[in-house]
């Protein structure tokens, strides 16, 4: 195989992302081009390979496995990922030169200098016959950082013409430029709470925000949500499921009401928390599953006076996989792909282990 140079100006890369929601493997085939004016990209093809029940069960149980069992699972998941990429490339006809795989996070305890994303990069390289970049977070954690977020490096170089980049997933996370530095962090819970409430009404999620839109705001509940100490913490900051279960969910029990009213109240809370970051008249690039929630975006826009910009559906759904493809390209070029200003590390770094087939 002809070696892939890190000094080219054009790259064809596949980004692979497995999220903690266990819904599936996101794959994005992307062409990147570097000129004297910076980077540009073309998202050529994208798909989500849904996990079957067996994979969902194995990945969910991974934190309880023995060391040997976890190592074996990492190998199997690497082979699975490699086969998925190979089939994706066959269907799309995309001439990939590089695979960049986030892997599936099992442990992330940066306070103990620990982060583990399974999906053996050597197995992916063997299955695809392509160079692979994986283990993106380990270098930053070794440098005293959180190993997250990694997406802001891509936001700066690929989407820097937007003042703000907002991703609405289980949590809302924000990335923006301030005084020559990239800043980022989690703003508030979003779909992790909204989906929980929608399931109480028999739906997996509140499509378009319509159920919540029909409800009324519970003023006492909103007041307590707004007073949670987390929201007074400066960026960078991060949220997890444990925080939601401890601080948010008990409030719905404390203030019983209808599901539409609970939803409407939480929409107001989330919209307020996000809107306070956006000056009137600025543009906010919005991606992630929550970008399809028209009511939430409408309230954010009303409260802030900022414009919520929605790209095409593929970019909304696959921006994270696209950016990991780009982080792989930067790693190959030995250029910075992890920013200390957003992770708290001692310095910027070029993270990711390179595996050759």
What is the pLDDT tens value at each position of the chain, 357 positions in all? 444 666 789 999 999 998 766 778 999 999 999 988 899 999 999 999 999 999 989 998 999 999 999 999 999 999 999 999 999 999 999 999 999 999 998 888 888 898 999 999 999 999 999 999 999 999 999 999 988 889 999 999 999 999 999 999 888 999 999 999 999 988 999 998 999 999 999 998 999 999 999 999 999 999 999 999 999 988 888 787 778 889 999 999 999 999 999 999 999 999 999 999 999 999 999 999 899 999 999 999 999 999 999 999 999 999 999 999 999 999 999 999 999 999 999 999 999 999 999
- Cα separation, 117 vs 103, whole angstroms: 5
Q: What is the largest CA-CA distance in the chain?
A: 65
- Cα separation, 206 vs 212, whole angstroms: 7
**Residues sharing a CB contact under 8 Å with residue 202, sequence separation 6 or more, in sequence order:** none
Torsion of CA 265, 270, 274, 276, to 10 degrees: 30
Three-state SS at 312: coil
This prediction has a pTM of 0.88
Three-state SS at 184: strand
pLDDT value, residue 146: 86
- Cα separation, 214 vs 159, whole angstroms: 35
User: Same CATH fold, 154-314 and 10-148+318-355?
Assistant: yes
Whether domain 10-148+318-355 has CATH 3.30.420.40: yes
- Cα separation, 174 vs 186, whole angstroms: 6
pLDDT value, residue 1: 43
Strands 353-355 and 132-134: antiparallel
Exposed/middle/buried for residue 231 (C-beta within 10 Å: 0-12, 13-18, 19+): middle
Assigned token pair, 266: 């939480």
* Domain spans of the chain, in order of start: 10-148+318-355, 154-314
- C-alpha separations of 234 from 55, 186, 215, 241 in Å: 38, 10, 32, 20
- The topology under which CATH files domain 154-314 is Nucleotidyltransferase; domain 5 (3.30.420)
- Cα separation, 148 vs 125, whole angstroms: 25
pLDDT value, residue 185: 87
Assigned token pair, 142: 């070794």
Contact 131, 332 (CB under 8 A): yes
């Amino acid at each position: 195989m002809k070696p892939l140079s890190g000094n080219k100006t054009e790259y064809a890369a596949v980004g692979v992302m497995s999220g903690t929601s266990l819904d599936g493997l996101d794959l994005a085939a992307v062409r990147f081009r570097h000129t004297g004016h910076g980077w540009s990209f073309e998202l050529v093809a994208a798909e989500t390979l849904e996990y079957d029940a067996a994979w969902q069960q194995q990945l969910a149980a991974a934190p309880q496995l023995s060391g040997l069992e976890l190592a074996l699972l990492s190998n199997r998941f690497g082979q699975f990922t490699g086969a998925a990429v190979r089939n994706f490339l066959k269907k799309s006809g995309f001439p990939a030169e590089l695979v960049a795989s986030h892997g599936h996070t099992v442990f992330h305890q940066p306070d103990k200098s620990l982060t583990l994303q399974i999906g053996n990069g050597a197995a992916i390289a063997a299955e695809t016959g392509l160079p692979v970049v994986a283990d993106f977070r380990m270098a930053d954690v070794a440098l005293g950082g959180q190993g997250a977020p990694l997406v802001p490096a891509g936001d700066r170089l690929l989407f820097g013409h937007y003042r703000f980049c907002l991703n609405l997933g289980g949590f809302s996370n924000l990335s923006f430029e301030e005084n020559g530095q990239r800043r980022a962090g989690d703003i508030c819970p979003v779909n992790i709470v909204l989906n929980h409430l929608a399931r109480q009404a028999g739906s997996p999620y509140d499509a378009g925000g319509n159920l919540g839109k029909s409800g009324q705001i519970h003023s006492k509940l909103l007041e307590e949500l707004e007073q949670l100490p987390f929201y007074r913490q400066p960026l960078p900051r991060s949220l997890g499921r444990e925080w939601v279960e401890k601080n948010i969910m008990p409030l719905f029990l404390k203030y019983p009401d209808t599901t539409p009213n609970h939803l409407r109240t939480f929409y107001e809370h989330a919209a307020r928390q996000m809107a306070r970051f956006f000056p009137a008249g600025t543009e906010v690039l919005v991606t992630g599953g929550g970008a399809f929630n028209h009511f939430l975006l409408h309230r954010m826009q009303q409260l802030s006076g900022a414009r919520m910009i929605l790209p095409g559906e593929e970019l909304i759904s696959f921006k994270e996989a696209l950016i990991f493809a780009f982080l792989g390209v930067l790693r190959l070029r030995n250029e910075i792909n992890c920013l200390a200003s957003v992770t708290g590390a001692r310095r910027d770094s070029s993270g990711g282990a390179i595996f050759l087939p």
